[in-house]
Structure 1
Amino acid sequence: MSRSHTKKKPWQVIAKEAQDYRDSTIAELSPSAPRVPAKLPKNVLPLPQELLDVSVLTITELPPEELLVSLATGKLTAVAVTDAYLRRAAVAQGLVNCLTELLPSLALSRAKYLDDYFQKHQKPIGPLHGLPISLKEHLGLKGLRCTTGFVSHWDHISKEDAHILQVLSDAGAVFHCRTTVPQLMMHLETDSNLYGVTVNPYNSQLTSGGSSGGEGALIALRGSPLGIGSDVGGSIRNPAANCGIYGFKPTAFRIPTDGWGYMMAGADNVESVLGPLSTSLAGLQLFMKVIIDSQPWLTEPALIPMPWREVEIPKNLKIGVLWHDNVVRPHPPVSRALRLVTERLKTAGIEVVDFPPYLHDEAWAIISSLYYPDGGEYDSDAIQSSGEPWRPLSKWIVKENPCVKKMSVGELTYWLEEREAYRKEYALHWNEYGVDALLCPVGPGVAPRHNTAKYWCYTSQWNLLDYPGVAFPVCKVDEAVDKLEDDFKPMSGHDSDNRKLYDPQEFHGLPVSLQLVGRRFEDEKVLKVLEFVTKKIGLPFENFP
């Protein structure tokens, strides 16, 4: 990736350039995308129905697995599908500020090529023929910028497509837009000085999550059927949960990461992974299978040469339930969702057992120490070199985190040994309860107000252990039912802080999601169990757009 300095321009000038460039890519659409109202309601989910043509809505409301059938049979053309998603993505940008750029020229020329291929050969080019896929901005796309949320990286240009994009392109995918990321790429929020704040489509006063919050908001608005995010502490599962869609964090070293712009690439203190967000569970399964079936380890040696396996549901399926982590008790809607799912699992004849937390507070001490072994020096320099201000959650994770300090080789070795010891202890803990998968919260509540998402441990726990996890929608907040208990006794200071964030009136109608976790390298099993459970108990329990 080529780099040059941007010190000469004030950061505000670069930010305006970034936003003007994004707007110019949307303006390339012909005919133009519909204009969104100047004054928007808190909940913008109904607006695409009012702004877009029926032909666009009919296409964009199909889940990816149905889109692919229509594309593979010639019922829909790649150009028609791509054009529909370009338009809906453009509208989504106006509603929630989720794009860094639209890719109309690239996407439509690719779609036309695929249609020509289909016309000539009367078959699809690959398993993802004509499917639009949105890209988190830090994924390298040849000739385009890759800022990873820093103003000082505005002129970092990717020299080649990221490996994962090469695989998806070979399978027939169409890349139609790129989505917002936060400063540092280390927020459960998506806000930067380049593009501003990405808001939640259910309520603009609340966060879409992060760091893949652009993907979460876009897909919730059906501006994409399938997108790529990344996850080092919850950055796929958190926005998926906040926005009421599906998101999967794979085990590390199964999905290729060569060619992304993440600063920690190549370091495995905490393994960061790429993974899918989608409007459907089938979309996640499709993404994983297509990529792993391509045998990406043949050109990216760091990957584990493990094929995608067909798994069967155990005859005596046993699911554990983690009600809380013994540090922070989830808000009432999350606890209710756990109860609902647990009760229906038992009614369906599935064995369910309580799964007690094992030293989850120590897990955070370990992982937060390993996030910044340079003491945050790289990120601090990247911010200071442009003069851009620190965003509130950037300051929190680097400057206000007592575990962040520049480590000696000996200190880093100590924390890596602690990581491995904890992983072994947790494996033995899991063995004691013998569960096939673990049902647990994705976070301590639903989508919170901006700049308040400071408790990562319901997701970062599984990053430390490198366990795969899938977030899925269950129900919605009901202010009449989801009330705080009167006899609250805090488990910790964090628990008291979290309780103060709960606002049943503000949160009413928001998605309530849960997470299903499995052991390392049991990615196929986790997704298969969720598929089985979804059919068995009728998930989700409410309609999601």
Structure 2
Amino acid sequence: MPVLKKTKGSKSWQKIADEAQALRDQSLVDVGITISLPPRLPTNVINIPEKVLSEKNIRITSLSPQALIDLISSGKLSAREVVQAFLERAVAAQKLTNCLTELLPQRAISRAAELDNHLSRCSIPIGPLHGLPISIKSHIGIAGRPLTYGYCAPFHSRTRPVSDSLVVQILTRAGAVVHARTTEPQSMMQLECASNIYGITTNPYSHVALSSGGSSGGEGALLALRGSVLGVGSDVGGSIRVPAAACGIYGLKPTAFRVPTTGWSSTPPGADPIVTVLGPMGVNLEVLEIFMRVVVAAESWNIEPAIIPLPWKTVHIDPTREKPLRLGIIWHDGIVQPHPPVQRVLREFAEKVSGLPQVEVVNFPAYKHDEAWAIVSSLYFTDGGDADIAIMAESGEPWLPLTEWIMKENPGVKKLSRGELEYWLEEREEFRLEYSHHWNKTGRWNDVSRLWEHTVDAIICPVAPGVATQHNTAKYWTYTAVWNLLDYPALTFPAGRVEKEIDIKDNRKRFLSGLDEENWQLYNHETFHGMSVGLQIVGRRFEDEKIIAILKFLEKYI
């Protein structure tokens, strides 16, 4: 792979990586626990923490987020003992999957002590997240801590933030305790999680062969191993949803401008034709809704002007409603057919929900998803990748395969003139109009009101054409990126597991495209046995509350 010539006067990427890893390793030591892993680890390490941690630690870290909040808020557990338990479990998660950039034991324990003291004085919790340990993807600013966004040079050369990012401030004021920062890939533009500064983050269900997904891959692995129960990730092409699906957890890509981004290191202001969003990742659906309620209730539109002043609504799906809940199923996107386990799990899910009273399941044909990728990929790097190339040149770090793929092998990436940028922005808006009309046509036209009525309430579809990928193979983004282009909220949830006895690859002779044939060759039922299969539920813009409510309803009754 190509190596850039290091900028004169800057440290080499190897030295920077050594410094970053030494900082991380010291933060693990500061937790004050020595964890000895078995000499020979199994392929699936998801249960290893329960073999190496104390019974008390296991009991605490196995509780649901709401149970933790309730127990800490009532004084039955102290915030300090809870955060210590999660710090120790996070140490184990790091040793198993390489998912951390650092732990924050001093900060976390100090904050937990403040919460305990407050509760003992006032008998009232400080907020709805009182004492809950949370993890943060590392490009989201924490006061005094390095920001790298997957590159080596920023760790060494950039000024560290003087305050927490706005979303972290909101969560902290609500009582959350930030205890961990998690890995992200070089360039942030990978659906896997590998960088020169921290290495490769692996999947706890297959800790050698498979990826945790990306770019919020550290969050995915840490949450799956219960080193955290709520994390904050980011998403511009699938970066919350893909790792959530790969690691068997939940993840929400909200509509843009509902969660504040002030204080992160990401897309420069004004260079966001495809908007990167922050969103929650968690061990259950409930904690995602808690996150959104807390963040939206903070009314951050008074601080960050781009945020839409839209309060969080309570949406209830009534099983006795007069009109049925209509769900549209995208079986495939017309370009790449999903692997056998994804097809099976989607089919089984559709069969289950169609058996519920007042639920109607219909086909939802994908609409020009190949065109969607042409548009979105042309708007990811409107400078042709120049800014990223310059950052890598500062330390001379090498290009990693998936960074090279998205920037150099992607025909959509080129430096755009003003006219070319305007063309692609017009294409974006035209596609959004066309897709809205396509969605409307799932309903019935009312000649009196001149409106489409009873369209589908949400879409259920694959998160990706496969499950967790083998390293350096996550090169098909359209199942997630189309919703970033449309700015539709999308929520990933675990729906099943690969079963090697059932999910056998047939000997296909006909393919939807060359990409379909390439993707089909990646599947092996033995390699992927036992891996989580995630699906995603998608709504229209600003229907974040609705898709959470629908999934909550479906999970209650199936």
| TM-score relative to the length of structure 1 | 0.96
1:408 pairs with 2:409: no
- Look up the match of 1:447: 468
1:292 pairs with 2:296: yes
- Look up the match of 1:342: 350
Letter in 1 for 2:547: V
- Look up the match of 1:110: 111
SS in 2 for 1:23: helix
Letter in 2 for 1:376: G
Separation in 1, partners of 2:268, 2:347 = 38
Q: Tell me if the contact between 2:165 and 2:264 (Cα under 8 Å) persists in the aligned partners.
A: yes
How far 1:485 sits from its partner (Å)? Answer: 2.6
Separation in 2, partners of 1:50, 1:186 = 35
How far 1:6 sits from its partner (Å)? Answer: 8.8
Separation in 1, partners of 2:541, 2:509 = 35
Separation in 2, partners of 1:273, 1:36 = 37
Q: Tell me if the contact between 2:267 and 2:276 (Cα under 8 Å) persists in the aligned partners.
A: no
Q: Tell me if the contact between 1:237 and 1:470 (Cα under 8 Å) persists in the aligned partners.
A: yes
Choose the corresponding residue for 2:205, options 195, 199, 202: 202
- Look up the match of 2:251: 247
Of the structure 1 ranges 151-160 and 166-175, higher mean CA displacement relative to structure 2 is found in 151-160
Letter in 2 for 1:294: A
Letter in 2 for 1:523: D
Separation in 1, partners of 2:41, 2:9 = 36
Separation in 2, partners of 1:18, 1:7 = 19
Q: Tell me if the contact between 1:6 and 1:154 (Cα under 8 Å) persists in the aligned partners.
A: no
Matches for 1:410-449 after TM superposition, within 5 Å? 410-433=419-442, 434-449=455-470
Letter in 2 for 1:43: N
Separation in 2, partners of 1:283, 1:9 = 42
Of the structure 1 ranges 226-235 and 304-313, higher mean CA displacement relative to structure 2 is found in 304-313
SS in 1 for 2:109: helix
1:234 pairs with 2:238: yes
1:262 pairs with 2:266: yes
How far 1:308 sits from its partner (Å)? Answer: 0.3
How far 1:209 sits from its partner (Å)? Answer: 0.2
Separation in 2, partners of 1:217, 1:246 = 12
How far 1:266 sits from its partner (Å)? Answer: 4.3
1:481-513, CA deviations, whole angstroms, 9 ceiling, x for partnerless residues? 001233441000100010000010010000011
SS in 1 for 2:231: strand
Separation in 2, partners of 1:6, 1:467 = 44
- What is the Cα-based RMSD across aligned positions, in Å? 1.1
Choose the corresponding residue for 1:16, options 4, 15, 18: 18
- Label 1:480 to 1:401 Cα distance change in 2 as closer, same or farther (>3 A): same
- Look up the match of 2:227: 223
- Look up the match of 1:465: 486
1:221-273, CA deviations, whole angstroms, 9 ceiling, x for partnerless residues? 00001000000000000000000000000000000000001134443300110
Separation in 2, partners of 1:264, 1:192 = 21
How far 1:369 sits from its partner (Å)? Answer: 0.1
- Label 1:299 to 1:49 Cα distance change in 2 as closer, same or farther (>3 A): same
1:77 pairs with 2:78: yes
Could you tell me which runs of 5 or more consecutive residues in structure 1 were left unpaired when the two chains were aligned. 538-545
Separation in 2, partners of 1:406, 1:396 = 16
Q: Number of residues paired by the alignment?
A: 532
Choose the corresponding residue for 2:327, options 319, 322, 326: 319
How far 1:7 sits from its partner (Å)? Answer: 4.5
User: Share of identical aligned residues, percent?
Assistant: 53
1:29 pairs with 2:31: yes
- Look up the match of 1:485: 506
How far 1:87 sits from its partner (Å)? Answer: 0.3
How far 1:312 sits from its partner (Å)? Answer: 2.4
How far 1:72 sits from its partner (Å)? Answer: 1.6
Could you tell me which runs of 5 or more consecutive residues in structure 2 were left unpaired when the two chains were aligned. 1-6, 443-454
Q: Tell me if the contact between 1:96 and 1:200 (Cα under 8 Å) persists in the aligned partners.
A: yes
Matches for 1:507-518 after TM superposition, within 5 Å? 507-518=528-539
Choose the corresponding residue for 2:382, options 361, 367, 373: 373
- Look up the match of 1:542: none
| TM-score relative to the length of structure 2 | 0.94
Letter in 2 for 1:385: E
Separation in 2, partners of 1:198, 1:461 = 26
Q: Tell me if the contact between 2:254 and 2:277 (Cα under 8 Å) persists in the aligned partners.
A: yes
Separation in 2, partners of 1:35, 1:218 = 18
- Look up the match of 2:215: 211
